[in-house]
């Protein structure tokens, strides 16, 4: 089995690109984020999902719109206030359950560049 190079988001020149669509998160994570009182911070699409700890998941966007917590400066409003409250999905992306996420090829510029060029390194992304 080939060893896959780990993607380093710190090397990405457009770290906000993966936030141009929302993220799913556990309902309990959403409740803690709401307590921060971030303006325009809201959640959408409450869905029963037993794969999430609370049994429910919710989203940070509607449709293909950017995450509501993506600030004008391209940074995450939650991350700026309290990194510990940033949704797990966001902290782990482009990985999901220890493997490259199936949507990474659409949202992660490093994965896109790697697939396009066939390179194993992402240092130029």
In the Cβ-directed half-sphere of 53, how many Cα atoms lie within 13 Å?
9
Q: The domain containing residue 79 runs over which residues?
A: 9-117
Summarize pLDDT for 77-116 with one digit per residue, the tens. 999 999 999 998 888 888 888 888 888 888 887 777 776 6
Residue 122 inside a domain? The answer is no
HEC string for 67-89: CCCECCCCCEHHHHHCHHHCCHH
Residue 44 inside a domain? The answer is yes
Question: What's the confidence (pLDDT) of residue 36?
Answer: 93
Residue 124 inside a domain? The answer is no
Residue 68 inside a domain? The answer is yes
Summarize pLDDT for 17-41 with one digit per residue, the tens. 888 888 999 999 999 999 999 988 8
Residue 99 inside a domain? The answer is yes
Close Cβ partners of 74 (under 8 Å, ≥ 6 residues apart): 14, 15, 16
């Amino acid at each position: 089995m080939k060893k896959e190079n780990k993607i380093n988001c710190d090397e990405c020149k457009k770290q906000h690109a993966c936030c141009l669509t929302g993220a799913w998160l556990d309902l309990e994570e959403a409740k803690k984020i709401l307590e921060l009182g971030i303006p325009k911070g809201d959640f959408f699409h409450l869905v029963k999902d037993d794969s999430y700890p609370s049994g429910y998941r919710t989203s940070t966007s509607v449709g293909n719109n950017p995450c509501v917590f993506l600030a004008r400066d391209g940074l995450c409003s939650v991350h700026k206030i309290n990194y510990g409250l940033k949704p797990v999905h966001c902290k782990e992306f482009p990985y999901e359950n220890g493997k490259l996420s199936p949507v990474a090829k659409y949202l992660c510029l490093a994965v896109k560049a790697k697939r396009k060029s066939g390179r194993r390194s992402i240092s130029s992304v």
